[in-house]
Amino acid sequence: MTTTVFPDRYRGMPVSQAGERATIEAITRVAPSAINGDDAAVLDPPNPNSLTVVTTDALVAGRHFRLDWSSAEDIGAKAVVQNAADIEAMGARPHALLLAMTLPGHTPLDFVTGVARGIRRRLDFYHMELVGGDVTMGDTLMLAMTATGRLTGPLPATRLDAAEAGQQILASGKLGWSAAGMALLEHFGPGDVPEEFLPLIGQHLSPEPAPGRGMVARAAGATAMTDNSDGLVHDLTVIAQRSRVRLDLDPHAIAPDDLLLRAARLLDRDPWEWVLTGGEDHTLLALSGSVPVTGFRVIGTCRRQGRYPVTVGGRVPRHTGGWESFGAV
């Protein structure tokens, strides 16, 4: 991490007063890149036969995060993870990042530095680089990120339409933790959540999926993959419909863990709702043969297309909703 200090005269200054140049510098000092700063960034030469993959995702204040819950670092870090997970879901290696950010004029420059710090922390994690961006003023704080990735070798990308009956359904991380964390924050407020549940809060505010899992799964034979950004059943339904299969989850393999059960008891909620409909864990969900894949566990079986796209132990799931970015705030 660079330790360049931003000039003291900017301390506590809002971006409208500091100006565009200082705001850009607040970011590029924390997350520098030799190829940033021209009209466009020229990416390193890829390996022979490697393909570039690209994805874009926006986070809007009040919709995707709450400024009274998330720190500036959390917001920057979460935006990177959300985009990198989409690259990983193709079986590719995240490579470069671009950031278009809209800021209300009263935003302190220190907040921008904090966002950049969160971005940088996650970028280092993935060995990525912030290669370009655009900052502009606007009424609402918004981060629109674009990530590029490298898909190397002869295997095809892991797509939504490439699941096959007979495969296993694999998962690489937590299911429902982010949703439980959000429910706890809504109930207690950010300062008063009982300490035992801090892992759930952390998962909601700044999930930290292990990097590189997507490449591992593709190399081990996974043909289809996505991440649970909108909800387990919701995201698997997309794979099931596009691949014309049924995805049958094993209720024992996805059963709520102890922490979810305790949180659910405390809030008088059904923990299965968090597991089945909670998104934003950015856990990779892969369809693969019977070879074990490092870092993944089996959570179900892919079957021939049936009446329902996703089932749990052969039955219709008890909860099937998911995140709708157009839902009421």
Exactly one of 10, 23, 73, 201 binds a second copy (CB under 8 A); which one?
Answer: 23
Residue 262 C-beta: closest distance to a second copy, Å: 33
Nearer to a second copy, 5 or 42 (CB): 42
Does residue 281 touch a second copy according to CB under 8 A?
no
Instruction: Considering the complex, state which of residue 20 and residue 124 has its C-beta at the smaller distance from a second copy.
Output: 20
Name the DSSP class of 195. Answer: G
Give, as ranges, the residues between 156 and 195 that touch a second copy (CB under 8 A).
157, 159-160
Contact pattern from residue 42 through residue 71 relative to a second copy, giving x for each residue in contact according to CB under 8 A and a dash for the rest: xxxxx-xx-xxxxxxxx-x--xx-------
For the beta sheet containing 224-227, the strands, ordered from the edge strand earlier in sequence to the opposite edge, are: 224-227, 284-288, 168-171, 297-304, 245-249, 310-312
159 belongs to an annotated ligand binding site:
yes
Specify whether the CB–CB gap between 226 and 299 falls below 8 A: no
Q: Is 306 in the site for a second copy (CB under 8 A)?
A: no
Token duo for residue 3: 């330790």
Tell which one of 29, 32, 71, 137 touches a second copy (CB under 8 A): 137
Q: Which residue bears the tokens 């995060």?
A: 65
Q: 319 among the known binding-site residues?
A: no
Q: Is 68 annotated as a binding residue?
A: no
The answer to the question of whether 39 is labelled as a binding residue is: yes
Q: Is 320 annotated among the ligand-binding residues?
A: no
C-alpha radius of gyration, the chain, whole number = 20
Task: Please check if 55 is assigned to a binding site.
Answer: yes
What is the helix (H) or strand (E) element at residue 79, kind and residue range? helix 72-88
- Give the burial class of 33: count Cβ atoms within 10 A of its Cβ; 0-12 exposed, 13-18 middle, 19 or more buried: middle
- Under the binding rule (CB under 8 A), the answer on residue 260 touching a second copy is no
**Rounded distance between C-alpha atoms, residue 214 and residue 189, angstroms:** 34
- Contact call for residue 220 and a second copy (CB under 8 A): no
Closest distance of CB 143 from a second copy, Å: 9
Q: Is 92 in the site for a second copy (CB under 8 A)?
A: yes
User: Could you tell me the CA-to-CA distances from 45 to 42, 49, 150, 170 in Å, in that order?
Assistant: 9, 11, 11, 33
Interface segment toward a second copy; rule CB under 8 A; list 83-91, 264-272, 292-300, 313-321: 83-91
- The contact pattern for a second copy, residues 112-131, with x = CB under 8 A and - = no contact, is -------------------x
Q: How far apart are the C-alpha atoms of 326 and 324, rounded to whole Å?
A: 5
Q: Which listed residue (227, 248, 273, 281) binds a second copy by CB under 8 A?
A: 227
Beta carbon nearer to a second copy, 138 or 313: 138
b/e for 149-167, b at 16 or more Cβ within 10 A? Answer: bbbbeeeebbbbebbeeeb
Least Å from the CB of residue 11 to a second copy:
18
Q: Which is nearer to a second copy, 141 or 201 (CB)?
A: 141
Position 90: which residue type?
M
DSSP 134-173: EEEE-SS-EEEEEEEEEE-SSSPP-BTT---TTPEEEE-S
Alpha helices for 268-327 (secondary structure H): 271-277
Q: Token pair of 235, please? A: 């995201």
Spatial separation of the C-alpha atoms in residues 237 and 244, rounded to whole Å: 10
Contacts with a second copy by CB under 8 A: the residue count is 67
Known binding residues = 39, 55-57, 64, 86, 133-134, 159, 227, 229-230, 280, 323
Sites of contact with a second copy (CB under 8 A): 15-16, 19-20, 23, 37-46, 48-49, 51-58, 60, 63-64, 85-87, 89-90, 92, 96, 98-100, 102, 105, 131-140, 142, 144, 146-149, 151, 157, 159-160, 225-227, 324-326, 329
Known binding residues for Mg(2+) = 39, 55-57, 86, 134, 227, 230
